[in-house]
Every structure is written in structure tokens, then in C-alpha cells.
Amino acid sequence: MIGVLKAEIYKILRQSKTLYALAAIFIIEGFVLLSAYYQGTEIIDLLLANLKDSFEFKGNLLNGNLIIYMILNSLWFHIPLILMIVVSGFLTSEYKDRTVEAVLLQPVNKITFIGSKYIVSIIFTVLVVILLAITTFLISYMIFGKGDLVVYLDGLNFYPSNEAFWRLCCAFMVGTVSMLFFSVVSLTFAVFFKDATKTWIVSAIFLVCTNLLLKIDFNNSFWNSFFYSKLIDSWQYYFYYEIPYQTIYLNIAVLIFYCLIISGIGVIVFKRRDL
């Protein structure tokens, strides 16, 4: 297993698509930073429009913490999309190049092979989010400095700089679990569809549908609490003034459970399927 894992990690490091994924993340960061630099004041004005007539504001709200929060919001769509494309490519490219057969002609168990794909996907996803977080914090603080964070979520919430920092860190950590879910799902799609284009299309549709389903109220507390689409925004809960820790922990546990189930399905299907 360790040998197969090392081989998978080597493959990822050698693949150009890994670099493309990292480049895409930096490009997204760059766009957010640029738009914040040029339009940040307008965003804040929009947030505080109703209060400007009655209140005078002293201090700078266009700071690193707000920029980090803006980049963190790429966890809704941009980052999962990139992850789903790249992670599904870990397997679809092997189908395309027919290297799956070459590998399985060796004394490598099917479960070990696909299991190592899932493990490497998880490692890759975690590293991507860590890299995103580190670069975001460094660049944002370097360019925009520190300051209070303002978030419009169930009212206007203001957080002092230190508090904003740990809320953002926690949000990145919880967001990693959501990203893991998308990665695992895309790899399972790759198991089912084999073809890269089909997998990407299905993954993109899945992502769009997830975002749409997130907004839908099922009028049922069970579905509203445990349906997968209702769990992927748990990182956002760190920006409520009173953090619902129990809900966050429960959501993380359920989402990890879903990841295990989905990867289990992928492993079973891959094992049973003829190459």
C-alpha cells in the first residue's frame, strides 16, 4: 500500500495538471485581490449604505481580514470546481492512457490501487486548501494590513482583528472537509464514467446543483440538517456572531461519514468492474 501511495504521489507531482490547478488557485486569489484593491471601498459602501446617513465610521474596514474572507468565499464554487476537475483527472487520465491496466497487471490489488487514489486525493485537497490559506493570509496582510472584519450574515457582524483571524483559520479548516467531500465525489464519478469530459460535466452539474439545493428549504428538519448540500457551508457558521459549535461538529461528522460512504461505493464499483 505504501509503495502504491508513493507511486501515486509521484504521479501527481509529475503531472502538469497539478501545476495548472495550483496556478488556477493563484489566479483566483489574484483576481479577488485586484478587485478588492480597486473596488473594495464600493463593497464596503454597499454593506454600510443604510447606515451612512446616520453614522460616521472611523477606522479601516478594507483590510486583510476582509480580503481573506472574500477569498474564502471561493470555497463556494471556484475551489471545488478546480479540485473536482483535477482529482477526477487522477483516474480518468489513467483510463485514457490505459495505465490502469498496466498497473493492475502488476501484483497490485484493485482495492489498494483505488484506495491509494482516494488517499492521495485527500492529501492533495488538504494541501491545496492549506496552500490557499497560507498564501491568502500572507498576501492579504502584507498588502492590506490588519483590521476589523465586517460580515453581513444574519445582521451586520463586526469582529476585532484577532478574533477575525481565528474565525478565518477555523473556517479554512472546516472548509477543507467540504472540499474533501467534493474531491471524493469527483473521484467516485471518475470510477463510474471513466471518461474525463463526462466526469467533468457531471462534476460541474453536481456542484451547481449542490449550490442550488443549499438554498432550498425542504420544510423538514431532518433533510435540512442532514442532506449533503446543507452541510457543505459549515465553514460559514464561523461568521455568525454566536458560533453554533454543536451544529458545526455534527455537520463535519456527517460530511466525513458521507465521504466514507461515497468512497466506499467507488471502491466497490471499481473492484467489481472489469477493466
Partner 1 sequence: MSAKYFILFVQLIALVNVGAQEVDPDLIHVRNRLDSIKSFKADIMMDVDISFINMPTKYGKVSYTRGNGTKITSNDFIMLPKRGLDLTMEDIFKYPYITVQRGVQEIGGIRCKVLNIIPTSEKADFSIATLFFR
Give residues in contact with partner 1 (CB under 8 A).
Answer: 51, 53-61, 147-148, 150, 155-160, 163, 241
Of 54 and 246, which CB lies nearer to partner 1 in the complex structure? 54
For the chain, state the CA radius of gyration: 21
Q: CB-based contacts of 195: which residues, under 8 Å, 6+ apart?
A: 92, 95, 96
Phi, psi of 236 (to 5 degrees): -70, -25
Q: How far is CA 107 from CA 90, 104, 120, 160, in A?
A: 20, 7, 20, 57
| Min separation Cβ 48 and partner 1, Å | 9
Q: Which is nearer to partner 1, 60 or 99 (CB)?
A: 60
Q: Which of 181, 200, 178 is nearest to 189 (CA)?
A: 200
Phi, psi of 272 (to 5 degrees): -80, -25
CB of 63 to partner 1, least distance (A): 9
Q: Taking the complex as a whole, how short is the minimal distance between the CB of residue 49 and partner 1, in angstroms?
A: 13
Separation CA 273–CA 184 (nearest Å): 19
- Least distance to partner 1, CB of residue 114, Å: 47
Q: Which residue, among 136, 99, 104, 111, has the nearest Cα to 14 in the 3D structure?
A: 99
Phi and psi, residue 43, nearest 5°: -65, -45
241 or 249: CB nearest partner 1: 241
As measured in angstroms, the least distance from the Cβ of 140 to partner 1 is: 17
Instruction: Kindly state the smallest distance separating residue 67's Cβ from partner 1, in Å.
Output: 15
Q: Are 23 and 131 in contact (CB under 8 A)?
A: no
Q: How many residues does the chain have?
A: 275
- CB nearer partner 1, residue 228 or residue 240: 240
Q: How far is the CB of 68 from partner 1 (least distance, A)?
A: 16
**Phi/psi at 52 (5° precision):** -60, -30
**Of 51 and 216, which has the nearer Cβ to partner 1?**
51
CA gap 147, 166 in Å, rounded: 13
178 vs 236 by CB, closer to partner 1: 236
Q: Which residue number, 85 or 151, has a Cβ lying nearer to partner 1?
A: 151
CA distance 264 to 57: 54
